[in-house]
Structure 1
Amino acid sequence: MILKGLKEKSNKNYIDKCVKNRVVDSNTNKINTVGVIVDQSEFKDLNWLQSLSTTLNVNPTNLKIIALVNPKQKEVNVYDLYFTKKDLGWKGTVKTDILKTFTNTDFDLLISFYKTSKLSLVFLSAITKAKFKVGVLAEEQVNDLILDIDINNTTIFETELVKYLNILNKL
């Protein structure tokens, strides 16, 4: 238990370091690649996430979705890319190739689509390389734009996201 607490503390410190050292790119380049981080226990509508690429005028092959799953729960995994909290190491390290590939991909837009503040989700949002980060969790500081909307109300989220991305000349 002590080691688990120390690991969480080291990762929280790494999140703070990532947030502090992040340079926000203020360019108006159009969005070509999108990464989405979800919690499978909260959201399972894979079809809507894939249709979001059409709304954002992004090629579906440039949309990468990764989900946090709980291996102890007996639910069917609907996501191709997934990870567990055990896949995260100490001081900002990741243990699997899936996470290494996802975090090293330079996304034009990263959508943190989860409502529960879990360290592993916030950690992944913080370390993933992205020019612009959008989230729905109001208390986290890893996002450039926060849309405080219920994640089950996808039409409002989609409308608001498109509205703000148009204002920022990203679409």
Structure 2
Amino acid sequence: MILKGFKEKSIKKKLNALLDSPKVVVEDGFVKSIGVLFNADEVGDFEMFKSLSDYLNVRPNKLKIIAFTENKKENLFSWNVCFNPKDIGWLGKINNPELETFLNADFDLLISFYTSDILELKLLTALSKAKYKASIFQNDKRLNDLIISTEVKQFSVFKSELKKYLKVFNKLRNE
């Protein structure tokens, strides 16, 4: 039990160091690739993210979805990568090669779709090399470039608001 507390504290330290470091990157360009990080304990249907990529005119092969669950069973979602807290070690070290690949991918847009204040999800959002980050998570404003205040169940609202703001920020091609 004590080791779990120390591990959590080391991950928090890494997260705060990532979020406090200055990061001013202005990227021009359109959204051509999307990474989605979501909490499988809150959202059961990953197909809605595929409809989002269609809605934003992003090719299906440029969409990568990864799920998090606090459940220890890793084979819950055989459709794609699913990780749990054991995949993250001391000081936020990633122990899962698929998760590491996802974080190092240079997505044009990362969508962090979770509302739970889970340390591992926040760390992964911060570690992602995505150029632009959007989320519904509101507890830490430093994590994302765009926060759309909706509930998890209001995905259609999130989808339309995201498209609206991406057009305003000139991140979508004119259709």
| TM-score class, shorter | over 0.9
Contact 1:53–1:59 (CA under 8 A) maintained in structure 2: yes
Q: Sequence identity, in percent?
A: 40
Partner amino acid, structure 1, of 2:34: V
Structure 2, unaligned runs of 5 or more: none
Partner amino acid, structure 2, of 1:57: N
Cα distance, 1:71 vs. partner? 3.3
Cα distance, 1:72 vs. partner? 4.5
CA distance in 1, matches of 2:120, 2:136: 16
Matching residue of 1:8:
8
Cα distance, 1:56 vs. partner? 1.3
Contact 2:148–2:161 (CA under 8 A) maintained in structure 1: yes
Contact 2:103–2:127 (CA under 8 A) maintained in structure 1: yes
Cα distance, 1:10 vs. partner? 1.0
Structure 1, unaligned runs of 5 or more: none
Contact 1:67–1:79 (CA under 8 A) maintained in structure 2: no
Relative to structure 1, is the Cα distance of residues 89 and 31 closer, same or farther in structure 2, using a 3 angstrom cutoff?
A: same
CA RMSD in angstroms, aligned pairs only: 1.8
Normalised by the size of structure 2, how large is the TM-score? 0.91
Aligned pairs for 1:83-98 within 5 A:
83-98=83-98
Partner amino acid, structure 1, of 2:139: E
Contact 1:103–1:124 (CA under 8 A) maintained in structure 2: yes
| 1:75-111: CA deviation from partner (whole Å, max 9, x where unpaired) | 9426411101000011121001111101111111111
Contact 2:42–2:114 (CA under 8 A) maintained in structure 1: yes
Q: Is 2:42 the partner of 1:33?
A: no
Relative to structure 1, is the Cα distance of residues 74 and 27 closer, same or farther in structure 2, using a 3 angstrom cutoff?
A: closer
**What is the aligned residue count?**
171
Relative to structure 1, is the Cα distance of residues 80 and 22 closer, same or farther in structure 2, using a 3 angstrom cutoff?
A: farther
Contact 2:74–2:82 (CA under 8 A) maintained in structure 1: no
